Structure 1
């Protein structure tokens, strides 16, 4: 059965007025055009929808059934229109954001603040490693992503919104905590707890040491910044992490940032989406909000 909204609208007008003529006037059509559409509709369904008794037009049993469906369809279309209007005014909608695990330390606060301004928006925050974040971008699994340096092999729109300094941290009783302007060559002699191979942070650290003619001594690899902080705090060795991840540890005097020459290593945070992706109004609103508040982060 192949019905069109145009045919249903014409049928509903004829049923409402019990007249082809008045329906044609309402719809600004000719009476023959209305009659033809009703005939096509009846042929499609295989049942008569109207019966003419004298000068009066009545709905058949099939016509009564179809009118009920038309009314429900019309209501659903009005509901859809209301939803779309609400989305345009940012009073409803969904926003899916995937962030690199290190970015979670500020991303959750960002979303909470944004949600307070748009309480009816449904927010989804996925925290994952770089590999899975790239999978989300490739599969259109998120509206926006927050990550370190985006890969060149994907066609992405990427906007820098904040610096991401990498610092050397030590347990508070480490001898180097008492020194200032520590040579990088001295730090290179210390074993380090760092992120796993393949992470953007690990790549930046290794490139930084290589550019200074030094090698990185890896004591242990961790898949999350939280694990690095705990290992360093427990005295395993020094570590290199994003300064955004250690606010609580510094306040609690569990870690110390070492004063190392040529550091911190400056990376950047990017807000990313696929180039061909058409952002929803709520995604655009979040992007604008992030760029506006980023200087205060």
Structure 2
């Protein structure tokens, strides 16, 4: 009994595979062509297999080749074994492919102007991923990544968490903007005195950058309106609610069309980054989406 077990453990899978294909074709030449071997190699592998199990596997009667009783038995179990091996190989491959669910958190502007296009391409490449997009401000995106309620995020501004990897996608100038109809007859001092400054809520993670720009100006806003998202601030400026400091991309099309005027451009730049937990950097879905973002972000600008 021990000897039989020792022999079975010594059998190599490649020899079993060659036997299986040879038994399917009942022709060593065709089996060799199928496997990409030479016929002598197939013959040698089957001879080694016969030696290992102690039984002949094929016999010939005239020009016909048949399986011996041992060959028939081995073929039944080899078919089962190779099915399991194939399932195992496919399962291992899945570990290296993006699959499962992916939750992406990002501010509304990024969701509508960038991610809607990028996600479409991503799902074409990885249809086995179930994807969910969450719209929230940059500060809340960082909180969601830290809490693992989102897998990957896009933020404007800095991320100071040592547990989070932040990869720069782009740097943009900060612009002081207003609706063009406010500016022709009014100078900057008049605008600051008579129109509110539209700001991000204090939970926004680049509020300090905005405050730094304002501190370098001669004028101070007479009143401040805090809003929760970049898109809301954009619409408030367009609708003449007040003036705002925004990233260049946020207002690019409105500036180009003449609907919005740039009152001042600042040397300070706001960073756009993709973020995820450093401890999850090995996960295929996160890696694949991060790589795609880095490759196409500027193209989508």
Deviation by residue 1:3-30 (Cα, 9 ceiling, x = unmatched): xxxxxxxxxxxxxxxx88645542359x
SS in 1 for 2:199: strand
Flag the 1:273–1:187 CA change in 2: closer, same or farther, 3 A.
farther
Flag the 1:114–1:164 CA change in 2: closer, same or farther, 3 A.
farther
Return 5+ residue gaps in structure 2 as ranges. Answer: 12-79
8 Å CA contact 2:251–2:260 kept in 1: the answer is no
8 Å CA contact 1:170–1:256 kept in 2: the answer is yes
RMSD: 3.5
1:285 aligns with 2:288: yes
SS in 2 for 1:246: helix
8 Å CA contact 1:193–1:222 kept in 2: the answer is yes
Number of the residue aligned with 1:239: 244
8 Å CA contact 1:87–1:93 kept in 2: the answer is no
User: What's the CA shift for 1:239?
Assistant: 2.4
1:146 aligns with 2:128: no
8 Å CA contact 1:102–1:225 kept in 2: the answer is yes
Number of the residue aligned with 1:103: 110
User: What's the CA shift for 1:269?
Assistant: 0.7
Flag the 1:291–1:267 CA change in 2: closer, same or farther, 3 A.
same
Aligned pairs (5 A) from 1:18-29? 22-23=4-5, 25-27=7-9
Distance 2:94 2:141 in 1: 30
SS in 1 for 2:240: coil
- Normalised by the size of structure 2, how large is the TM-score? 0.61
SS in 1 for 2:153: strand
Return 5+ residue gaps in structure 1 as ranges. Answer: 1-18, 30-70
Aligned residues: 228
Number of the residue aligned with 2:262: 258
User: What's the CA shift for 1:171?
Assistant: 2.3
Distance 2:123 2:267 in 1: 33
8 Å CA contact 1:167–1:265 kept in 2: the answer is no
User: What's the CA shift for 1:153?
Assistant: 4.2
User: What's the CA shift for 1:287?
Assistant: 1.9
Q: 1:126 aligns with which of 130, 134, 142?
A: 134
- Normalised by the size of structure 1, how large is the TM-score? 0.62
1:294 aligns with 2:276: no
Distance 2:255 2:124 in 1: 29
1:273 aligns with 2:276: yes
Number of the residue aligned with 2:123: 115
Pick the structure with more helix per residue.
2
Number of the residue aligned with 1:66: none
